[in-house]
Amino acid sequence: MNPLLQTKQLGQRIWLDNLSRELLTGPLQKLIQEDELAGVTSNPAIFQKSISSGAGYADDLAKLKTQNLTTEQRFEALAVPDVQAACDLFTKAYTDSQGLDGYVSLEVSPHLARDTVGTEAAAKRLWAAIARPNAMIKIPATPESLPAFTAAIAAGINVNVTLMFGKPHCDAVFNAYVAGLRQRIAAGGDVRQIRSVASLFLSRVDTLVDSKLDAIGGDALLLKGKAAIAMVRTAYAHWMQRWNSSECADLRAAGANIQRLLWASTGTKSPAYPDTMYVDELIGPDTVNTLPDATLAAFRDHGTAAAKLTQGVAEAEATLAKLAGLGIDMDAVAVQLQVDGLKLFDEAFDKLLALLG
């Protein structure tokens, strides 16, 4: 059986980490029909690659350059219709799953990552522009943007929180989500239709931690490639415990949906690791895994669908303890990687805007 279909049966949904007009012309519909793909994500780097390739954008871009628009307005004029078209392809999946599946994410400008007011305004503007119930607005998990995330949830907007790299981010995002739900309930709003995911990045964690282990050498090398999966297993266990505890009993009673953890950056960057490592090891209920094209194809071809996410939690905790004993501070790793990730998104967005000038 197709491992992608088996994964769905185990409670995890697979999304594609790509969006382009070329994809919208046929390949996406095929993925939805044959693999039961449940969503699509985008980011500045993805759009920069898609638009720079020229496929399907040249005519529209030429017209937009004749209009009195900023480069960001030109980008949105290209991106919003793509997101709308993808949302429409997922309408049946969204309806049939009663709102669990079928989401398409569009990110607010990474230039707003340290701007609370600007992020909230952009999230509300993009949500209104897309005007689809199965859209998600991506907001980074920076300290400045999380209040905007809370406000978006309170306003009834679906949100994909991005650029999370460890437990500190998980705790802060969880707190911001439940705060938004409670604000909406207090205002008399309905929380039953709100959906959100929290995107925890994996391969970048191992890349950074592995470099630290290489510098230490010796037995430390035995821990290479284990940090990200250990971090995810422990984060998931804590996340589920909090949601299902008395802490969130009022939200569950109001019909609120759990904010699902999403695994991002799941293409392995080291050739020493199996190409489906971040899929095979992390399948479990109430989660999403967003895969680049190559990883999706690899998992379909030779992946193993098994509910491993909840296995080996004690071993994962021991791995994190060993890393701490070597002087590797996983909280500091998370902070550094978020700063680095924001820089990469800024650079990709700047390159994208340069194309549109």
Residues with catalytic roles = 138
| DSSP for residue 14 | E
Strands of 270-338 (E only): list them: 287-291
Q: CA-to-CA distance for 6 and 10, rounded, in angstroms?
A: 7
Identity of the residue numbered 37: L
Contact 48, 345 (CB under 8 A): no
Q: At what angle do helices 313-325 and 330-355 cross, to 10 degrees?
A: 90
Contact 116, 87 (CB under 8 A): no
Q: CA-to-CA distance for 146 and 116, rounded, in angstroms?
A: 8
Contact 136, 160 (CB under 8 A): yes
Contact 299, 291 (CB under 8 A): yes
**What is residue 64's three-state secondary structure?**
helix
Tell me the CA distances in angstroms from 297 to 16, 233, 245, 287, 291, one per residue in order: 11, 24, 38, 20, 9
Among all chains, which residue has been given the structure tokens 């924001």?
342
